[in-house]
């Protein structure tokens, strides 16, 4: 019956499934698939397939622009952004966040994506070892070098951090102890990269105009929930030092830099974003640092500190 | 079993001159299929082939 239905489906629409039809480009799928990434998808797929695709599309866009084909360049650029848009879906509930210790015998050669279902567990463990570190490196580079991708990447990392702490899997609901271990492993695997991402986000936040940087502060707040306390206390000390060392408002900013007052606002925002995770000594330092700003003339500084 | 259905949906979407009213429905079907079988499997049946993308059509 099923075979007959398949035959009918092939025959009913002339040309469907023919070799020519199969090789037709399908750029529309990138937009269609956004938001349709199922729960339990693998970050490894992003690292192995989606990111190379984005690089290919970027090169195609640049190549078309070099040839003077503006429309084609814009088309490839749109596809490039749409391919990056898939990232957020993969970060919503991936099943390969934690770094798994893989036996050496499993690390010989690359496991093909056509591995039978019975070997999926092996494939997952192989990819788990590689996926997030590689992805994190690429995302860090893109955050630094691709301003137009920053909101997309920050949103995706925010979802990844949220999902890494979530008690949501069916297996987790069935077995509380196993779920607790899974959450701890996920948090540790993601949190290990806070030392890489937080400095990048701090740097971007202090160099981005105030009206378009709220997503960066949201990303900082997300990372604070999974980062190590010593790291956060060190970063907080650095932020406070820069806040107190910020030049006087009368000093003219250098080209491409924010005004001194804007730097203070940014540092105060960052200090308060770190506040929920600080230890007692750092919290005391925060209090002593913030109190003088309550009596300054700047209404924005008073508003931030209150 | 699902492959011919996906190919038919793909064909319906791409030939939008004839099936323009079907596109929202086809989009929902493709999204549902992707959620059910995974993007990796869906793209095995319907590869993107973006390297074969020609220059955009005028108009």
Neighboring chain A residues of B42 at a CB cutoff of 8 Å: 33
Q: Angle at Cα A57 formed by Cα A41 and Cα A64, nearest 5°?
A: 170
The confidence band for A218, taking pLDDT boundaries of 50, 70 and 90, is very high
- On whether residue B58 sits in a domain, the answer given is no
A2, A69, A86 member nearest B55 (Cβ): A69
- On whether residue A15 sits in a domain, the answer given is no
A21, A25, A113 member nearest B40 (Cβ): A113
Rounded to the nearest angstrom, the minimum Cα separation between A23 and chain B is: 7
Is there a single domain that holds both residue A52 and residue A168?
Answer: yes
Q: Do A26 and B47 touch (CB under 8 A)?
A: yes
**Quick one: pLDDT at residue B16?**
65
CA distances to A30, A96, B40 from A36, in Å: 10, 18, 12
Q: Does A202 touch chain B (CB under 8 A)?
A: no
Q: Do A56 and B31 touch (CB under 8 A)?
A: no
The confidence band for A185, taking pLDDT boundaries of 50, 70 and 90, is confident
Res A212 pLDDT > 80: yes
Q: Residues A191-213: what's their mean pLDDT?
A: 92
Is there a single domain that holds both residue A165 and residue A44?
Answer: yes
**Quick one: pLDDT at residue A168?**
46
Domain span holding position A151 = 21-192
Q: Do B35 and A53 touch (CB under 8 A)?
A: no
Rounded to the nearest angstrom, the minimum Cα separation between A25 and chain B is: 5
Highest mean pLDDT among A45-49, A81-85, A207-211, A263-267: A81-85
Per-residue pLDDT tens digits for A117-146: 334 343 444 444 557 877 899 999 999 999
Is there a single domain that holds both residue A256 and residue A204?
Answer: yes
Q: Name the residue with higher pLDDT: A24 or A225.
A: A225
The SS3 assignment for B46 reads coil
The confidence band for A63, taking pLDDT boundaries of 50, 70 and 90, is very high
Domain span holding position B43 = 2-47
**Quick one: pLDDT at residue A193?**
92
CA distance A94 to A104: 24
| Overall domain count for chain A | 2
Q: Residues A44-63: what's their mean pLDDT?
A: 91
- On whether residue B55 sits in a domain, the answer given is no
Mean pLDDT check: name the lowest of A17-26, A41-50, A81-90. A17-26
Q: Residues A263-289: what's their mean pLDDT?
A: 89
Q: Does B13 touch chain A (CB under 8 A)?
A: yes
Q: Does A6 touch chain B (CB under 8 A)?
A: yes
- On whether residue A7 sits in a domain, the answer given is no
Neighboring chain A residues of B31 at a CB cutoff of 8 Å: 32-33, 35-36
Mean pLDDT check: name the lowest of A35-39, A49-53, A152-156. A35-39
Per-residue pLDDT tens digits for A226-259: 999 999 999 999 999 988 887 665 555 665 566 7
CA distance A254 to A242: 17
Contact between A235 and A202 under an 8 Å Cβ cutoff? The reply is yes
- On whether residue B54 sits in a domain, the answer given is no
Phi-psi region of A24 (alpha: psi -120 to 50; beta: other; left: phi over 0): beta
Highest mean pLDDT among A10-14, A288-292, B1-5, B27-31: B27-31
- On whether residue B30 sits in a domain, the answer given is yes
Q: Look-up: residue for tokens 């929202």?
A: B24
Q: Residues A13-38: what's their mean pLDDT?
A: 77
Neighboring chain A residues of B13 at a CB cutoff of 8 Å: 28, 32
The confidence band for A2, taking pLDDT boundaries of 50, 70 and 90, is low
Q: Which residues contact B5 (CB under 8 A, 6 or more apart)?
A: A9, B33
Q: Do A33 and B48 touch (CB under 8 A)?
A: no
CA distances to A31, A47, A107, A192, A274 from A83, in Å: 8, 12, 29, 27, 32
**Quick one: pLDDT at residue A24?**
81
pTM, 2 dp: 0.79
Q: Do B10 and A5 touch (CB under 8 A)?
A: no
- On whether residue B57 sits in a domain, the answer given is no
Q: Do A28 and B55 touch (CB under 8 A)?
A: no
Is there a single domain that holds both residue A226 and residue A277?
Answer: yes
State the sign of the Cα–Cα–Cα–Cα dihedral A127, A128, A132, A134. Answer: negative
Mean of all residue pLDDT scores within chain A: 79
Per-residue pLDDT tens digits for A91-115: 988 888 775 444 444 433 333 434 3
CA distance A234 to A236: 5
- Domain end among A126, A160, A192: A192
Q: DSSP assignment of A200-248, as one string?
A: HHHHHHHHS-GGG-HHHHHHHHHHHTTS-HHHHHHHHHHHHHHHHHPPP
- On whether residue A306 sits in a domain, the answer given is yes
Q: How many CA atoms lie within 13 A of A163 on its CB side?
A: 22
- On whether residue A13 sits in a domain, the answer given is no
Q: Residues A34-56: what's their mean pLDDT?
A: 88
């Amino acid at each position: 019956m099923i075979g007959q239905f398949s035959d009918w489906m092939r025959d009913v629409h002339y040309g469907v499934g023919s070799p020519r039809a199969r090789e037709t480009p399908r750029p529309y799928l990138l937009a269609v698939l956004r938001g349709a990434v199922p729960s339990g998808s693998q970050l490894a797929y992003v690292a192995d397939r989606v990111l190379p695709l984005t690089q290919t599309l970027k090169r195609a866009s640049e190549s078309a622009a070099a040839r003077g084909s503006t429309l084609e360049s814009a088309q490839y650029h749109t596809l490039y952004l749409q391919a990056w848009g898939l990232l957020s879906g993969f970060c919503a509930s991936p099943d390969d966040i934690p770094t798994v210790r893989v036996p050496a015998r499993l690390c010989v050669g690359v496991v093909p994506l056509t591995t039978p279902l019975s070997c999926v567990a092996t494939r997952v463990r192989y990819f788990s070892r590689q996926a997030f570190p590689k992805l994190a490196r690429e995302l860090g580079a893109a955050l630094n070098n691709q301003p137009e991708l920053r909101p997309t990447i920050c949103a995706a990392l925010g979802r990844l951090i949220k999902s890494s702490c979530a008690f949501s899997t069916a297996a987790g609901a069935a077995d509380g102890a196993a779920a607790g271990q899974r959450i701890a492993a996920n948090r540790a695997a993601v949190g290990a990269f806070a030392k890489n991402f937080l400095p990048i986000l701090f740097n971007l936040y202090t160099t981005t105009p105030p009206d378009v940087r709220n997503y960066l502060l949201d990303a900082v707040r997300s990372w604070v929930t999974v980062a190590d306390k010593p790291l956060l206390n060190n970063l907080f000390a650095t932020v406070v030092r820069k806040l107190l060392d910020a030049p006087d408002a009368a000093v003219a900013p250098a080209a491409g830099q924010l005004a001194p007052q804007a730097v203070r606002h940014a540092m105060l925002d960052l200090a308060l974003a770190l506040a929920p995770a600080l230890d007692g000594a750092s919290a005391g330092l925060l209090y002593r640092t913030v109190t003088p700003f309550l009596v300054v003339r700047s209404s924005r500084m008073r508003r931030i500190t209150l | 079993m699902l492959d011919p259905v996906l190919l038919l949906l793909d064909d319906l979407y791409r030939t939008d001159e004839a099936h323009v009213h079907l596109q929202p429905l086809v989009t929902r079907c493709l999204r549902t299929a992707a959620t059910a079988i995974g993007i990796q499997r869906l793209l095995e049946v319907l590869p993107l082939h973006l390297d074969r993308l020609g220059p955009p059509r005028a108009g």
